[in-house]
Copies of this chain bind each other. A is one copy, B any other.
Amino acid sequence: MKDGIRAVQFGCGPIGCAVAKLAIQRPNMELVGAVDIDKNKIGRDLGEVTGIGKKLGILVTDDVDGLFGRTRVDVVFHQTSSSLKRVAPELVKLLEFGVNIVSTTEELAFPFATQPELAAEIDRVARANRATVLGTGVNPGFVMDSWILFMTAVCQEVRKVKAVRVQDARTRRLPFQKKIGAGCTPEQFQKLVDAGTLRHVGLTESIAMIGDGLGWILDNITESIEPVMAQGWVQSPYISVEPGQAAGVRQIGRGLRGKEEVITLEFEASLGAPESYDAICITGIPNMEVVIKGGTHGDIATAAIVVNAARRVIEAEPGLLTMKDLPIVICRV
A280 → B minimal CB distance (Å): 10
- Copies of this chain, complex-wide, total 2
Chain A at the B interface: mostly helix, strand, loop or mixed?
A: mixed
> Which of the residues B138, B285, B333 comes within 8 Å of A215, measured between beta carbons?
B333
> Which of the residues B153, B291, B304 comes within 8 Å of A153, measured between beta carbons?
B304
A22 contact set on B, CB distance < 8 A: 156
Contact with B along A288-311 (1 / 0, CB 8 A): 111111101100110111011100
A158 on the interface (CB 8 Å rule)?
A: yes
State which residues 40-86 of A face B: CB under 8 Å: none
A290 → B minimal CB distance (Å): 5
CB pair A330–B292 under 8 Å, yes or no, is no
A174 on the interface (CB 8 Å rule)?
A: no
A307 contact set on B, CB distance < 8 A: 156
CB pair B291–A331 under 8 Å, yes or no, is no
A120 on the interface (CB 8 Å rule)?
A: no
CB pair A152–B308 under 8 Å, yes or no, is yes
> Which of A185-193, A233-241, A243-251, A321-329 interfaces with chain B?
A321-329
> Which of the residues B152, B157, B324 comes within 8 Å of A327, measured between beta carbons?
B324
CB pair B327–A325 under 8 Å, yes or no, is yes
CB pair A290–B292 under 8 Å, yes or no, is yes
A325 contact set on B, CB distance < 8 A: 327
State which residues 10-34 of A face B: CB under 8 Å: 22, 25, 28
How many residues on A have C-beta within 8 angstroms of the other chain's C-beta atoms? 50
- Given A285-B300, A286-B297, A286-B300, check contact A153 B328 (CB 8 Å): yes
CB pair A153–B329 under 8 Å, yes or no, is yes
A113 on the interface (CB 8 Å rule)?
A: no
> Which of the residues B142, B153, B291, B300 comes within 8 Å of A156, measured between beta carbons?
B300
A195 on the interface (CB 8 Å rule)?
A: no
Per the bound structure, the CA–CA distance linking A329 and B146 in Å amounts to 10
A225 → B minimal CB distance (Å): 25
A105 → B minimal CB distance (Å): 18
CB pair A292–B288 under 8 Å, yes or no, is yes
- Given A289-B293, A290-B290, check contact A284 B331 (CB 8 Å): yes
> Which of the residues B152, B293, B332, B333 comes within 8 Å of A331, measured between beta carbons?
B152
With A155-B301, A156-B300, A324-B327 given, can you name 9 additional A-B contacts, CB distance below 8 Å? Answer: A22-B156, A28-B215, A138-B154, A153-B330, A154-B300, A156-B304, A289-B292, A291-B291, A291-B293
Q: List 12 A-B contacts (CB under 8 A).
A: A28-B215, A146-B328, A152-B308, A153-B309, A153-B329, A154-B305, A156-B331, A157-B331, A157-B333, A289-B293, A290-B291, A324-B328
Q: Which 6 A-B pairs have the closest CB atoms?
A: A154-B301, A152-B331, A153-B329, A215-B332, A155-B331, A289-B293
